Structure 1
Amino acid sequence: MSQDAYAGWRTVLAGLQMLFVAFGALVLMPLITGLNPSVALFTAGIGTLLFQLITKRSVPVFLASSFVFIAPIIGIIQQYGDDGVAVAMGALFCSGFTYMVLAILVAVRGPGFLHRIMPPVVTGPIIMIIGLGLAPIAVNMAMGKTGDASAQLFPYADAIWVSMPALLVTLLVATLAKGIFRLVPILAGIVVGYSIAAFMGMVDFSAVNNSAWVAVPDFVTPKFEMAAILLMMPVALVAAIEHVGDVLAISSVTGDNYVEKPGLHRTLLGDGVATSAAALFGGPPNTTYSEVTGAVMLTKAFNPVIMTFAAGFAISLAFIAKFGAFLQTIPAPVMGGILILLFGSIASVGLNILVKARVDMGQQRNLVIVSTTLVFGIGGMTLGSLEGLSLCGLVAIVLNLVLPKADETEDLHEEEEIVEDMVK
């Protein structure tokens, strides 16, 4: 085999490895929300290719499902019944425009703009609410119930015997595994939990046996409802902040400044276009993936072409109907056990943002913003048509803008340092 052919095969296999790393969380999002995992695979691939087109294929990232949107998607699906998925897709399509507006503002005003409207004292509690607000879903599923506890799917004892080993394996792999295996704790938890569930007779394979080998995924056409759109669009602000962190992380890994070239405005636009495109087919919103960043760091696979192959594999798997049917056989307790750690980790990330930014909770201003945001979110406060993350995000941003700062000069210096770090 020639050297060029060998290098080509290594690139292809690296692409498959990247999809393997992202796979667990990629399919978990649609399974939690009731979306089709085959459609999620398809839209992850399409979204990645669109992102590469917009960023001139210069950033080695793979786009897939964002957990930030879980709560609003579930809420909309429950509210609108049979049209719930279509209405949620319409709202997600419009949420992509939030990214696009932010991309324009960043292009005009610079990357420090996002930090000024959403500093750590705002983003920290909002991200904590995402994890803590989803906690009941994880616990209910771990105990064999539906996410909203409306029905008991499996006996409690059986569910615990499945969910707890799945949780234990996930956390052990996340903390003790070495190399590439440390990047796939969710997948490891799914494999172990699923194996135990199958042994206990909790898995129904009839859908797999009755499905064709190859079929077009069940795409969904969006429907547009203003109330759902207003609920979903502000959530994209949180996802955009998450995106900025991912871009800075991948920049530090590769040594290239993606904030400057291709530019944060292009990467934000790429996420927005990918999210809107995914919604047109019935897929979950797309975002850059932290797990893939870890894999890039570990393997030194800096070539963006690798992500092109990962996207191609994802699109191909979407048309294997038996594979999609198999994914939908994963019992709720398996997912519940893993989600206990996953949703808790999201809340911990929000707390870590406050700690790393050294947000002084002794200052009344910071205490007011964080405490009000947390109680609104965890307590389920509603003001008119605003609720959930949309309300929390708006309240936190407004309080941050209107409340006087203890030391304007010190705050200005802090903002300038953060912007300088982003640009360096």
Structure 2
Amino acid sequence: MFGILKQAISGAQILFVAFGALVLVPLLTGLNPAMALLGAGVGTLVFQWLTGRQVPIFLGSSFAFIGPIIVAMQAWGQGATQFGLIVAGLMYFIVAGLIKWRGMGFITKLLPPVVIGPVIMVIGLSVAVAASGMAMGQGGGKQLVPYETSLLLAAISLATTIIVAVFAGGMLRLVPILSGVIVGYIAAAALGVVDVSGVMAAPWFAFPHWVAPQVNWAAALFMLPVAIAPTIEHIGAVMAVGKVTGQDYTVQPGLHRTLSGDGIGVCFAGLVGGPPITTYSEVTGALMITRNFNAVIMSWAAVLAVTLAFFGKFNAILTSIPLPVMGGIMVLLFGTIASIGLKTLIDARVDLMAPRNLVIVSVVLTCGIGGLTLKLGDFSLAGVGLVSVLAIVLNLILPPARSHDGIPEGQDI
């Protein structure tokens, strides 16, 4: 009995570490936070079942989809966006099948750092304007919170997040987003910005409101390429967890199984109206600190997430978080995503003096941040989806880059 209680407490700790990022995505995109908890919980349980409960991973809301979801919600509505997210889950199965068939070498050739790096940068920078707008209390073209108050609240939440991320130690260092939200919320309540009427009216227990997906192939084609970056992120995360635990999960249970588990979770999240799910580096950090590598604790975290999805007042509190509090965190968050893309290029030592690499990165950044849209009749492709396709095509058709001494990159003398 004591052992089970200890596992449950460890699971609660994992959920606490992942919680801030998990609920942040639906709050930013207009999706239901309760469905995010439900999608993450069920998705993690499915992942653990499919991988034989061998990999200590908890799946939470993916930041990579924030910008595309915001655009899709405005263009096609929530039902069509959910359908697009379900289709995006198929990308995980495509990559899993390619790895099972051809091995990792094929994926590395198709999606090298010069492709993945700038695409990740676009994911973060394409919604930078939205982050600044929220920090100023603006939404839907209107000033929803007074300007001066908004900047103060955004500064408080941003400063708290930065201080915790940079100066905190131990487990606290793993929850900078959650810390920023809590301190910002308290400040907003003190300034009278928080509207608690919805919290008071909400029932203690309630079934999350479900929006049915609507078939929309334009939304599907828009979302499908977006999943390329998270699938590569998944592979890196599985390898990172393996280094922490001393196990090679790419062999057993295998990347094809972990990707498939993640893909099913993404499809389920889209079905119920939650954001797509992905692996969390915060959880990997928690594993490093606690040294508890038992995958059962991830199942406990998942069960607790599902349970919280049915607490009406809890979810009402989440939706009452003022806009500028979230905006302050977004300023850091989207810049962090872009920085990860830059780090991808740096770690791989991509030579931007080589015309081939310069062309790929430049075209992707300009088209992605500039909002270029490709329209062919009723079909349109824009944003991350468009630049993902552009990056892959350019990488395949352009000749191999050569270093300054004339030898192709990646080859020894």
Specify the alignment match of 1:75 in structure 2.
71
Distance in 1 between the 2:242 and 2:359 partners?
34
Give 1:371 deviation, angstroms.
0.7
2:79 counterpart residue number? 86
Q: Distance in 2 between matches of 1:413 and 1:88?
A: 44
Partner of 1:337: 328
Q: Offset of 1:413 from its aligned partner?
A: 5.3
1:265-414 alignment runs, 5 A limit: 265-384=256-375, 385-407=380-402, 411=409
| Matching residue of 2:28 | 32
282-291 or 168-177, which deviates more: 282-291
Whole-angstrom distance in 1 between the partners of 2:203 and 2:75 = 33
Contact 1:215 1:320 in 2 (8 A): yes
How far residue 174 of structure 1 moved from its aligned partner, in angstroms, is: 0.2
Deviation at 1:412, TM superposition (A): 5.8
| SS of 2:5 mapped into structure 1 | helix
Aligned residues: 405
- Shift of residue 6, structure 1, vs aligned partner: 3.0
Matches within 5 A, 1:121-270: 121-146=114-139, 150-270=141-261
Residue of structure 1 aligned with 2:10, choices 14, 21, 43: 14
Distance 1:67 1:211 in 2: 28
Contact kept? 1:111, 1:264, Cα under 8 Å: no
| Structure 2 counterpart of 1:417 | none
SS across alignment from 1:234: helix
1:263–1:413 distance in 2 versus 1, CA, 3 Å: farther
TM-score by length of 1: 0.93
How many angstroms apart in 2 are the aligned matches of 1:288 and 1:278?
Answer: 14
Show CA shifts across 1:208-260 (max 9, x none).
11111101111221111010000001111111111111111111111110111
- Partners of 1:293 and 1:222 in 2: how far apart? 33
- Long gaps (5+) in structure 1: 415-424
Q: Which consecutive unaligned segments of at least 5 residues does structure 2 have? A: none
- Partner SS for 2:142: coil
Task: Please give the per-residue CA displacement for 1:78-130, whole angstroms capped at 9, x wherever unaligned.
Answer: 112xxx11111111111111111111111011122221111111111111111
User: Is contact 2:400-2:408 (8 Å) kept?
Assistant: no
Name whichever of 286-295 and 225-234 sits farther off.
286-295
Deviation track 1:386-421 (CA, whole Å, cap 9, x = no partner) reads 11011100111111111101359855659xxxxxxx
Q: Is the deviation greater in 149-158 or in 181-190?
A: 149-158
Q: Is contact 1:89–1:279 with CA below 8 Å preserved after alignment?
A: yes
Match of 1:391, as an amino acid? Answer: L
Deviation at 1:31, TM superposition (A): 0.5
- Alpha-carbon distance between aligned partners in 2 of 1:413 and 1:57, rounded to the nearest angstrom: 40
Counterpart check, 1:100 vs 2:96: no
Measured in 2, the distance between the counterparts of 1:152 and 1:222 equals: 31
Q: Percent identity?
A: 52
Deviation at 1:142, TM superposition (A): 0.6
Q: Which moved further from structure 2: 63-72 or 13-22?
A: 63-72
Q: Is the 8 A contact 1:106 1:114 kept in 2?
A: yes
- Partner SS for 2:60: strand
Aligned partners of 2:92, 2:25: CA distance in 1, in Å?
20
What secondary structure does 1:386 align onto?
A: strand
Question: 42, 47, 53: which is aligned to 2:43?
Answer: 47
